[in-house]
């Protein structure tokens, strides 16, 4: 976005914008002059729609919008694309204004790195700079997540993810360390190296820290597979088409980290991103190979297209190191989760009921729903290998999201609360405030939980 779509009070004359539910609109319109009632009646917006009301000189002096979702976080997600250019001053209580502004900003999101839009969008004026700052923090974090996912793999390889985190370190006073290429073997991150070694873009572990070292420790881990060809178990063309989004887990934790730092939550933040490209070359890893992970667990490779859990397991093992209060990971891990819950409801697993219940409630409160899935321990048997401690794929395709989560659980210390999010990271259809393309799922839910817990 070339301009902020949500701004604080301005000296420029703004058009008042009133937001109504159908019931509140019915009450309001009865109290208006006959001329206004007649004008509005021609627009048939009793249930849904907007209307621009002119004054006696023919100039717009009021905009009204009727929606059954007036109190939703997504109320104005499409309105920003329907109103003509200009400034509109939202009316209402603070909660309604903040929600409307949030969806206004995200509804106006455009990915313009390669193709610019020449149609300027209207701005929403909110009553205070404080509200504008608060709302724009969420807009910015979500837009960052979307931008990272939407960027083609040719411009979003491990080094580019590193650059993003480096910029964040400069902005917020964090520290970024990297383990790159063969150094991964020296530092004992064998699975990250194995998955990424066939690429011309060196694999790396991005290790980002921020905050007071004595504060409560929160560790975020994000799958950073910048492109997934499937490796030697090559994906078909249709399955490979959107694999630029396979670093969506990394994009999620980066966006979440930005939210945490912008709000200055009093925590010690640790972000780990295993960043690789799963490519095909003479040195690509093979089905049947066995690798001993950082955790000391040996893993037989059943399928090279189940690479996400391989890079994550070394990162999760490292996440245990300073014994954080919790570990939360995000990954575009399984198609099985999409089959179970669809593309718009992210499932998550947790070894801690309190953590899971509170994140779920935060998701409901922030209209960022997440759904807890079962870590059904009996399915661990499906990960057995004849030649290693584990296989990276289950012997059955059924319950694939569960078996993937059980694989990851083996690398998390049992006494550390942990949540694993298996997300789509992509909107397949356009919804208010949510255009087709990269999307952040669950980061507002997790942030709200962290904010309640630590601020």
Q: Is 134 a member of any domain?
A: no
Q: Is 1 a member of any domain?
A: no
Assess whether 266 and 243 both reside in one domain. yes
Q: Is 72 a member of any domain?
A: yes
Task: Report the pLDDT value the prediction gives residue 240, as an integer from 0 to 100.
Answer: 97
Q: Is 80 a member of any domain?
A: yes
Task: Report the pLDDT value the prediction gives residue 118, as an integer from 0 to 100.
Answer: 85
What single-letter DSSP state applies at residue 236? P
- 290 CB contacts (<8 Å, ≥6 apart)? 298, 299, 300, 301, 387, 388
Assess whether 21 and 55 both reside in one domain. yes
Assess whether 53 and 196 both reside in one domain. no
Q: Is 132 a member of any domain?
A: no
- Domain end: 127, 148, 179, which one? 127
- Give the C-alpha separation, 343 to 336, whole Å: 11
Give the 3-state DSSP-derived string for 123-175, with helices as H, strands as E and coil as C: EEECCCHHHHHHHHHHHHHHHHHHHHHHCCHHHCCHHHHHHHHHHHHHHHCCE
Q: Is 429 a member of any domain?
A: yes
- Give the C-alpha separation, 202 to 22, whole Å: 56
Assess whether 325 and 355 both reside in one domain. yes
Assess whether 246 and 376 both reside in one domain. yes
Range of the domain at 225: 140-454
Task: Report the pLDDT value the prediction gives residue 2, as an integer from 0 to 100.
Answer: 59
Q: Is 281 a member of any domain?
A: yes
Assess whether 167 and 283 both reside in one domain. yes
- 224 CB contacts (<8 Å, ≥6 apart)? 158, 161, 206, 247, 249, 250, 273, 274, 275, 276, 311
Asked if residue 416 lies in contact with residue 242, where contact means CB atoms within 8 angstroms, the answer is no
Task: Report the pLDDT value the prediction gives residue 267, as an integer from 0 to 100.
Answer: 98
Assess whether 366 and 447 both reside in one domain. yes
Task: Report the pLDDT value the prediction gives residue 56, as an integer from 0 to 100.
Answer: 84
- Domain end: 87, 105, 127, which one? 127
Element (H, E) at 41: helix 34-41
Catalytic site residues? 235, 309
Assess whether 267 and 178 both reside in one domain. yes
Assess whether 59 and 170 both reside in one domain. no
Cα→Cα distances 135→88, 105, 157, 447, Å? 16, 8, 30, 14
Cα→Cα distances 325→215, 223, 320, Å? 10, 21, 10
Cα→Cα distances 451→72, 135, 261, 440, 446, Å? 21, 15, 11, 18, 9
User: What 3-state class would DSSP assign to 346?
Assistant: coil
Cα→Cα distances 294→24, 89, 283, Å? 60, 55, 21
- pLDDT tens sequence across 356-374: 999 999 999 999 999 999 9
Asked if residue 324 lies in contact with residue 270, where contact means CB atoms within 8 angstroms, the answer is yes
- Domain end: 104, 127, 150, which one? 127
- Give the C-alpha separation, 244 to 161, whole Å: 13
Q: Distance of alpha carbon 430 from its chain centroid, rounded? A: 16
Assess whether 68 and 152 both reside in one domain. no
Asked if residue 90 lies in contact with residue 419, where contact means CB atoms within 8 angstroms, the answer is no
First-last CA distance in the chain: 30
Asked if residue 181 lies in contact with residue 270, where contact means CB atoms within 8 angstroms, the answer is no
Asked if residue 438 lies in contact with residue 146, where contact means CB atoms within 8 angstroms, the answer is yes
Assess whether 115 and 164 both reside in one domain. no
Q: Which of 309, 224, 327 is nearest to 269 (CA)?
A: 327
- Give the C-alpha separation, 370 to 252, whole Å: 14
- Give the C-alpha separation, 337 to 248, whole Å: 15
Q: State the total domains in the chain.
A: 2
Task: Report the pLDDT value the prediction gives residue 1, as an integer from 0 to 100.
Answer: 46
Q: pTM of the entire structure?
A: 0.97
The pair phi, psi for residue 156, each rounded to 5°, is -145, 65
- pLDDT tens sequence across 172-201: 999 999 999 999 999 999 999 999 999 999
Q: Is 197 a member of any domain?
A: yes
Assess whether 112 and 216 both reside in one domain. no
- CATH of residue 343's domain is 3.40.630.10
- Give the C-alpha separation, 408 to 410, whole Å: 5
- Give the C-alpha separation, 142 to 348, whole Å: 19
The vertex-298 CA angle with 296 and 303, nearest 5°, equals 140
Q: What stretches in the chain show pLDDT beneath 70?
A: 1-2
- CATH of residue 101's domain is 3.40.220.10
For the four alpha carbons of 129, 132, 135 and 141, in that order, the dihedral sign comes to negative
For the four alpha carbons of 179, 185, 191 and 193, in that order, the dihedral sign comes to positive
Show contacts of 335-340: CB within 8 Å, 24+ apart. Answer: 335/400, 336/397, 336/399, 336/400, 336/401, 336/402, 336/404, 337/373, 337/400, 337/401, 337/422, 338/424, 340/373, 340/401
């Amino acid at each position: 976005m070339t301009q902020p779509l949500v701004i604080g009070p301005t000296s420029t004359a703004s058009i008042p914008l009133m937001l109504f539910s159908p019931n509140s609109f019915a009450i309001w319109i009865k109290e208006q002059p006959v001329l206004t009632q007649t004008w509005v009646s021609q627009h048939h917006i009793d249930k849904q729609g907007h209307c621009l009301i002119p004054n006696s000189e023919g100039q717009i002096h009021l905009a009204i919008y009727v929606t059954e979702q007036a109190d939703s976080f997504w109320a104005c997600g499409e309105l920003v694309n329907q109103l003509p250019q200009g400034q509109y001053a939202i009316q209402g209580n603070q909660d309604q204004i903040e929600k409307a502004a949030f969806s206004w900003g995200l509804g106006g999101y455009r990915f313009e790195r390669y193709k610019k839009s020449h149609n300027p969008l209207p701005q929403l004026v909110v009553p205070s700079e404080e509200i504008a700052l608060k709302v724009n923090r969420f807009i910015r974090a979500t837009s960052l997540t979307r931008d990272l996912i939407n960027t083609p793999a040719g411009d979003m390889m491990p080094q580019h993810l590193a650059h993003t985190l480096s910029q964040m370190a400069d902005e917020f006073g964090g520290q970024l360390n990297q383990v790159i290429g063969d150094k991964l073997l020296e530092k004992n991150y064998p699975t990250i190296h194995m998955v990424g070694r066939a690429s011309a873009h060196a694999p790396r572990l991005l290790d980002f820290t921020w905050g007071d070292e004595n504060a409560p420790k929160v560790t975020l881990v994000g799958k950073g597979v910048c492109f997934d060809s499937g490796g030697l178990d090559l994906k078909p063309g249709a399955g490979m088409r959107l694999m630029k989004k396979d670093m969506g887990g990394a994009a999620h934790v980066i966006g979440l980290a930005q939210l945490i730092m912008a709000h200055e939550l009093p925590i010690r933040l640790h972000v780990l991103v295993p960043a690789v490209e799963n490519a095909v070359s003479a040195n690509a890893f093979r089905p049947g190979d066995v690798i001993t992970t950082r955790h000391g667990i040996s893993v037989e490779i059943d399928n090279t297209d189940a690479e996400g859990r391989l890079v994550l397991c070394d990162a999760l093992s490292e996440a245990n190191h300073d014994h954080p209060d919790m570990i939360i990971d995000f990954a575009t891990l399984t198609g099985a989760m999409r089959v179970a819950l669809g593309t718009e409801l992210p499932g998550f697993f947790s070894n801690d009921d309190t953590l899971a219940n509170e994140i779920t409630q935060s998701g409901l409160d922030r209209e960022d729903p997440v759904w807890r899935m079962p870590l059904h321990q009996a399915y661990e048997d499906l990960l057995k290998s004849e030649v290693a401690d584990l296989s990276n794929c289950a012997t059955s395709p059924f319950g694939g999201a569960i078996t993937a989560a059980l694989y990851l659980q083996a690398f998390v210390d049992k006494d550390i609360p942990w949540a694993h999010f298996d997300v789509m990271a992509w909107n397949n259809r356009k919804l208010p405030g949510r255009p087709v393309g990269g999307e952040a799922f669950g980061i507002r839910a997790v942030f709200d939980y962290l904010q309640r817990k630590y601020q």
